[in-house]
Structure 1
Amino acid sequence: MRIAVIGAGALGGTFATLLEGAGHEVTVTARGETLAAIRADGIRLSGAFGDAHAHPLALTRLTETPDLALVCTKAQDAAAAITDNAGFLNGCPVIVVQNGLLGVRTATDLLPDSECFGLLVIVAANYTEPGHVSVTTAAPSYLGRGSGAVDDETMRWQAVLGGPLRTVTIANFVGAQWTKLVVNMLNSLPAITGLSVQEVVDAPRLRRVLTASMRETVRVAMRRGVRFGSLQKLDDRRLRVFSRLPLWAGQVLPLGMRARMGQVPNRGSTLQSLLRRQLTEIDFLNGTVVREAQSAGLTAPVNALLTALVHEVESSGTSLPVNEVLERLAVLGRS
């Protein structure tokens, strides 16, 4: 099958390599140093999925319509990437591999003749240098669309992706996006402090702030009428219970995530963007919680401050000392 991967960063590079290894004809789109590196020596994958070396066709934009396309850009780059390739994507099945809540909706709006799906990814991958990706945590990915049951078209594409990408189908995809958004609260504090996710969770005072951001996210979703989808041992019942817990008790949630993470340092995608001097997708993570809270007549002060601090680090290029971060968050941490 001819599969296009739009965006060859950490996840795009991982998926392109695994799909080529499964016998598919893979094309990737990339720019700059990444494009040059892939054209020169392909994509080298190491870590939890094993070592592999793929040589996909690398282009700045598509030149023909594939049988299937995966959009693997950062959330803030999705609309431009889809528009740039719309002439060959419209009418082609498209799977959006993205954080946040808007990816599938953006693709559907821009590609009215395409069947659009979403893929929720728990894989932790580090883009170590152009053309080289290291996977620190291998995990299943979850394919679906809409708020209902799994449909036949979703099952069809799961059959294609299921082996190489360990893909499973998921019902109530929209609810599962919110569940993943709770998980993605792991990203902001590493980006602000320069610490790994594990180091953040292991630090009691940072873990308290992390728990507060997660609890705030769950409460906003509940006010918006969300029924959480089941993902990574989280489901609607457990998250609703979590929303009522005091912060000292709610810390069991990030601690459980930490236990499944292993010891290989996980930088998180937001910190990786900062290390590459790229804009982050924080406005589609913690920033989404702030906007959704406003729509529901609520406030989300923890997520608002974390969003602002990530933008501060984006502008300065320098992470903030933990003590300074805690001082600025102290008033919120007493809630």
Structure 2
Amino acid sequence: MRIAVMGTGGVGGYFGARLAAGGHDVAFIARGSQLDALRTKGLHVESPRGDLHLPEVTATDDPGTLDPVDLVLFGVKLWDTEAAAEQIRPLLRAGTAVVSFQNGVVKDEILSRVLGPEHVLGGVCYIAATIAEPGVIQHSGPMQKLVFGEYGGKSTPRVEAFRDACVESGIDVEVSPRIERAVWEKFVFLVGLSGTTSLARTPIGPIRANDKSRAFLHDVMEEVVEVARASGVPLPGSYADDRMAFVDTVPATMTSSMHHDLERGNRLEVAWLSGDVVARARKLGVPAPANRAIADLLSVHAAGRP
């Protein structure tokens, strides 16, 4: 497949590198020091699933310099979604798929509005990967899975082709006929993890071990479930309990990308996570006090340090 990675951060860098090593034609779109490193020393991945070094990669900050592709793996920060979607227009032709593995549920709404729903696949990823330094992606733990599918549930040649590319590249993969539900299922856990680890400034271990913070985490996720159900997404009423059971299985050291960004003084995605839950809850008449507390308190740091 011809693939473009729009946003070569932890997620895009990791999966793009795996796909390139699997024999696919992958171009990386990046900027700043990351772009400089890709051009001068290639892309390194440090991973329990096997290290990679791609000494030469196609890297640019201008999608317009690339030929159209079969698929765009879209991984920019949420605040850049609309602008980045406009930038990738030259990469699209009839049938080109754009699959976002960003955080949040608003991502595909934005992509569909800017690019047209016919180009958008739903997708979620499960991985802990960050930029350790420019040109180096650090993958923590063995988990590295992509879940994607067409909205509406049909199996299409482009979905099957991307699934096969992932399998050939050693990526754990699942094609979902209920991708909207899958996106919300991850959103429930993600909002809980990102909000509580950032607010408490600690990995998940101490949060789940403390009775009060554990109850708060449950409340945060329960609110997301209720917003999903009010939006017509058929999550079980007990889904927050299910996610709490999952929380007890993850490493105590697990944290979130938003917690990393907070510690580094970077801009936060809180407005598109707990903030989005609060906005949707308000429109639907659903209470969301725990998510409002997260969104309001973290708004102090939302723009990052000057």
TM-score over 0.5 (shorter chain)? yes
Q: 1:104 aligns with which of 87, 108, 118?
A: 108
Greater alpha carbon shift after TM alignment, 268-277 vs 169-178: 268-277
Structure-1 residue corresponding to 2:284: 296
Secondary structure, counterpart of 2:123 in structure 1: strand
TM-score (norm 2): 0.89
Between the aligned partners of 2:129 and 2:210, the Cα distance in structure 1 is 23
2:154 touches 2:177 (CA, 8 Å); kept in 1? Answer: yes
Structure-2 residue corresponding to 1:201: 208
RMSD: 2.3
Q: Which residues of structure 2 form unaligned runs of 5+?
A: none
Q: Which residues of structure 1 form unaligned runs of 5+?
A: 229-235, 244-249, 319-335
Structure-1 residue corresponding to 2:247: 257
Between the aligned partners of 2:187 and 2:76, the Cα distance in structure 1 is 17
TM-score (norm 1): 0.81
Secondary structure, counterpart of 2:4 in structure 1: strand
1:150 touches 1:170 (CA, 8 Å); kept in 2? Answer: no
Structure-1 residue corresponding to 2:137: 133
| Percent sequence identity over aligned pairs | 25
Between the aligned partners of 2:30 and 2:92, the Cα distance in structure 1 is 16
2:262 touches 2:304 (CA, 8 Å); kept in 1? Answer: no
Correspondence 1:75 to 2:64: no
Between the aligned partners of 2:60 and 2:265, the Cα distance in structure 1 is 23
Secondary structure, counterpart of 1:212 in structure 2: helix
1:44 touches 1:52 (CA, 8 Å); kept in 2? Answer: yes
Structure-2 residue corresponding to 1:226: 233
CA deviations on 1:199-247 (whole Å, 9 max, x unpaired) are: 332333222211110011112222222113xxxxxxx3xxx1246xxxx
Between the aligned partners of 1:112 and 1:314, the Cα distance in structure 2 is 30
One-letter amino acid of the counterpart of residue 69, structure 2: P
Between the aligned partners of 1:172 and 1:130, the Cα distance in structure 2 is 36
Structure-2 residue corresponding to 1:241: 238
One-letter amino acid of the counterpart of residue 22, structure 2: A
1:118 touches 1:144 (CA, 8 Å); kept in 2? Answer: yes
Structure-1 residue corresponding to 2:186: 180
Structure-1 residue corresponding to 2:150: 145
1:90 touches 1:112 (CA, 8 Å); kept in 2? Answer: no
Structure-2 residue corresponding to 1:19: 19
2:151 touches 2:179 (CA, 8 Å); kept in 1? Answer: yes
One-letter amino acid of the counterpart of residue 195, structure 1: T
Secondary structure, counterpart of 1:4 in structure 2: strand
One-letter amino acid of the counterpart of residue 39, structure 2: R
Between the aligned partners of 1:42 and 1:118, the Cα distance in structure 2 is 30
1:82 touches 1:89 (CA, 8 Å); kept in 2? Answer: no
Q: 2:260 aligns with which of 272, 278, 286?
A: 272
2:265 touches 2:304 (CA, 8 Å); kept in 1? Answer: no
Greater alpha carbon shift after TM alignment, 180-189 vs 103-112: 103-112
